[in-house]
Amino acid sequence: MISFGSSSRVWLATGHCDMRKGFGALALMVQEVLKLNPHDGNLFVFRGRGGSLIKIIWHDGQGACLFTKRLDRGRFIWPAEAGGAVTITGAQLSYLLSGIDWRMPQETWRPKAAG
């Protein structure tokens, strides 16, 4: 398991991205389009046009990391607007990676009484 620092923020690049791009091209998008520093330890998440593939770039201070995930069924829930970024929590990223709607996750069961 890879752990990210507690000070790391997670940024979703809104809209869609060309999934043929590697770390260098995605880092350049972070710098030029989002106006953020791709080497500051934050995670930057990009989604492909079809919605079933995402790429995450992260620089851990020693080197660059590129993570990819493709859903077998369904699509990743994504903000509609394009050309910007939305910040989410690490817990919301976990939901996103599991294919769960990170905007309003539903609890399946909650106890009514203690006994």
Distance CA 24, CA 43 (A): 14
Helix, strand or coil, per DSSP, at residue 93? helix
The reported pTM is 0.85
Residue with tokens 């389009």: 33
The CA-based angle 18-1-63, given to 5 degrees, is: 55
The pLDDT assigned to 110 comes to 65
* Mean predicted lDDT score pLDDT of the chain: 87
pLDDT, tens only, 27-69? 999 999 999 999 999 999 999 999 999 999 999 888 999 999 9
The pLDDT assigned to 7 comes to 76
- The sign of the CA dihedral 30, 33, 37, 43 is negative
The pLDDT assigned to 37 comes to 94
